[in-house]
Structure 1
Amino acid sequence: MKEGHTALEYYQQYKENKTCCGRRKLVLPLEQEEYIKEKVAQGWTPDVIVGRKEMPISCSMRTLYRRFKEKVFDESTLPMKGKRKPNGHQERRGKQAFKRNIAERETDYPIFKKEFGPIFKKEFGPIEGDTIVGVHHKSAVTTLVERLSKIIITLKPDGRKAIDIENAMNQWFGSIPRHLFKSITFDCGKEFSNWKALSNLHDIAIYFANPGTPSQRALNENSNGLLRKDGLPKEMDFNQVDQSFVSSVANKRNNIPRKSLDYQTPLEVFLSYVDESILSSLI
């Protein structure tokens, strides 16, 4: 070689120089790391942390997800992904014989598409309802979700029978302004057999999704899964908790920003349509 160096020495110098090339590994400031850990502990996803923009984060959403995969942050603290497996329970209480099908909405509302939007999601007021059951299927919590704001409302009935659900719904409807909500779409559970009394007493349209089609109440089904993870698991006996507890579980989820709401929380969107003075009786 011209300067008396060997090929191996040139190669080693090349390798050393190459380590200085390319993008340097990202290191987040300490205050950003603490903020990310705090928000993840509250149930926020990396997507929401970056998109909400409460604190500027020095990386993109994808890069932040990679930080979790690289063990910079604890990946186990992220909300779980994937479908929940069925528990194998078979319903033996029978099915409802008389109910209003979800397809009747267009007949009942001549201006259905204009009033509710082409996919029934662009107008405030329609809600979806269901129950989630506790251990041994001996207790239940009624869950309601408003479709536009995605706010979750949980009610604690005294039992799982139709009369228990009716009493809890009557008490809740009695505490909110009349006609605040436009309609309710329930699943086909027999616990909603007293729907006619609810509909007549509170002047609200009640419908039922088709059997075996949870996609017609997809938001409610998804919300039930979130409530399960946030504090209402299948192993819990709901007879041992009160209304304040089930409301606190829903409130936690209602205060987590969502990408589908432009990184607003369900509570913030909900309050843009109702007066804050009636909030305590709603959720």
Structure 2
Amino acid sequence: MKKGPGRRPQSAKRQRFMELRARGWSIVAAAREVGVSRSTGKNWHRGYTVYRNGTAVGIVPALDRLAVREISSRFLSQEERIEIADLRQSGLSLRTIAARLNRSPSTISREVRRNTVDGRSYRPFDAHRLATARRARPHRRRLDTHDQLGSLVAELLSRRWSPQQISRHLRQRFPDDPTMRLCHESIYQAVYQPGSRFLRPSPLAPHRRSPLRTGRDHRRAHQRPQQRRPRFAPPMLTIHDRTFPPEDRSEAGHWEGDLIVGNHHGSAIGTLVERQTRMVRLLHLPRSDADSLHTALVARMQDLPPGLLRSITWDQGTEMARHVTTTAVLGIPIYFCDTRSPWQRGTNENTNGLLRDYFPKGVSLAGHPPAHLLAVENELNTRPRIVLGDRCPADLFTDLLASQNQSVLRR
């Protein structure tokens, strides 16, 4: 790409950056892909203020996706506009310019007439900027032009209704008035737009500025599974390598594990639950690191017979960095769930919720000795469960230990 005023090689990177953002890439990921820094990507996406001697002297607006988007060849490109300016400066007629660009003379005439600045000269970069602004075709949202609809949506958002609930409510309340309907995406866009009037605290939740339950005031880019990199290097077994689906509990000996973490991530307790019997085992961890978890896991689980220790499923936390060593010592595979997929270890998630009665959030977990963990563990394991037919996990697990075929649960 040729150099010149406004024609830097960076323009190709900007175009690629905006294409990746339109496909759902995050700012950091798109900046890394095109080879620019994270701060440059944020400046392109959000714009920035120019300071001189500590004083703001100007604002560089966010990169317009229309300005860098590849458009149809039917429309004049920025390079063609530069050539038009050069040829006009050399004294050629509009018909001669049109013949050189393989365009209609009326196209060149209309371009010069519409995009000439102050009626004096044709400036290609200003012309391209004006053409881009016309392509945007801005329009006001229905929430801004329809007072009744905007007031109703604002009232429901202040009552912490979700955009989906509001959209369904409008369709039911105004079945014969299409002007009083909105899809949930329109409400999200109205909330996320800069300076939105819907970003205000509600009466019962004054600490929340955003009316959305996520608390966001801007849209977060979606991460596609194929773009995520695994936490650990191979060999790493995922839950898709497991021989049974998450809902299959026909075989005993498959455990699910995780950590419940104290305040400021300074302390943790390891939790393990057997999928079939819901038998719980707690791990006392002096520190929430990989070495401590490996030592505690091996010490607590190596007393089980092979029929009751077939696999362990964990999330992709850094505490499992020594999973290869743990697999070699225990002689069982360790499977990892997908990121942001807690339902793939639903038994453990439910158990962690029960354990929060004993170890609440926001407090340190370092003051619980192993004897206290064992007492909590025994209380949970001797509590009858409706999912087990009002039997206790400890009784079922004892039956399995006494069974000759430990993969079959005797009832």
Q: Which amino acid aligns with 2:238?
A: N
Is 1:274 aligned to 2:411, yes or no?
no
Match of 2:392 in 1: 265
1:122-201 map, 5 Å: 122-178=250-306, 180-201=308-329
Distance 1:199 1:144, change over 3 A: same
**TM-score of the pair, normalised by structure 1:** 0.58
Once the two structures are superposed, the pairs formed by residues 85-104 of structure 1 within 5 Å of their partners are 96-98=231-233, 99-104=236-241
Instruction: Please name the residue that 1:47 is paired with.
Output: none
Task: State how far apart, in whole Å, the 2-side matches of 1:265 and 1:151 are.
Answer: 9
Q: 2:359 aligns with which of 227, 232, 239?
A: 232
**Structure 1 residue 235 displacement after superposition:** 3.1
Shift of 1:263: 0.7
C-alpha RMSD of the superposition: 2.5
Work out whether residues 252 and 307 of structure 2, in 8 Å CA contact, stay in contact via their aligned partners in 1: no
Q: Following the alignment from structure 1 to structure 2, what is the Cα–Cα distance between the partners of residues 121 and 257? A: 18
Matches within 5 A, 1:13-32: none
Q: Whose radius of gyration is greater, 1 or 2?
A: 2
> How far apart, in 2, do the equivalents of 1:95 and 1:164 lie?
22
- Do residues 247 (structure 1) and 384 (structure 2) align? no
Report the Cα offset of residue 251 of structure 1.
1.6
**Corresponding letter in the other structure for 1:259:** I
Structure 2 residue runs of 5 or longer lacking an equivalent are 1-212, 215-228, 404-411
Question: What is the alpha-carbon distance in structure 2 between the residues aligned to residue 251 and residue 272 of structure 1?
Answer: 16
User: Can you list the C-alpha shifts for 1:76-130, whole angstroms capped at 9, x where unaligned?
Assistant: xxxxxxxxx99xxxxxxx9723231111123xxxxx58xxxx9320111101000
Task: Give the CA deviation at 1:177.
Answer: 3.6
Contact 1:127 1:181 in 2 (8 A): yes
Distance across 2 between alignment mates of 1:95 and 1:240: 34
Counterpart AA for 1:181 = L
Q: Distance in 1 between matches of 2:307 and 2:251?
A: 14
Tell me which moved more, 267-276 or 184-193: 267-276
Per-residue CA deviation, residues 16-35 of structure 1 (Å, 9 max, x unaligned), is xxxxxxxxxxxxxxxxxxxx
C-alpha separation between the residues in 2 aligned to 1:173 and 1:152? 12
1:215 aligns with 2:350: no
Name the CA distance, whole Å, in 2 between partners of 1:125 and 1:142. 18
Corresponding residue of 2:72: none
Q: How many residues align?
A: 176
Contact 1:178 1:202 in 2 (8 A): no
Structure 1 letter corresponding to 2:366: N
Q: Is contact 1:128-1:186 (8 Å) kept?
A: yes
Secondary structure at 1:96 match in 2:
coil
Partner Cα separation in structure 1 for residue 373 and residue 362 of structure 2: 15
Aligned equivalents of 2:369 and 2:298: distance in 1?
17
Amino acid at match of 1:220: N
Confirm or deny: 8 A CA contact 1:126 1:184 kept in the other structure. Answer: yes
CA shift, 1:248, in A, is 1.3
> Which residues in structure 2 correspond to 1:47-66 (within 5 Å)?
none
> More relative contact order in 1 or in 2 (CA 8 Å, sep 6+)?
1
What's the counterpart of residue 256 of structure 1?
383
TM-score normalised to structure 2 length:
0.40
* Equivalent position of 2:180 in the other structure: none
Partner amino acid for 2:232?
A
How far is the alpha carbon of 1:175 from its aligned partner? 3.6
Distance of 1:221 and 1:263 partners within structure 2: 21
Contact 1:144 1:152 in 2 (8 A): yes
Give ranges in structure 1 of 5+ residues lacking alignment. Answer: 1-84, 87-93, 107-111, 277-283
Helix, strand or coil at the partner of 1:244: helix
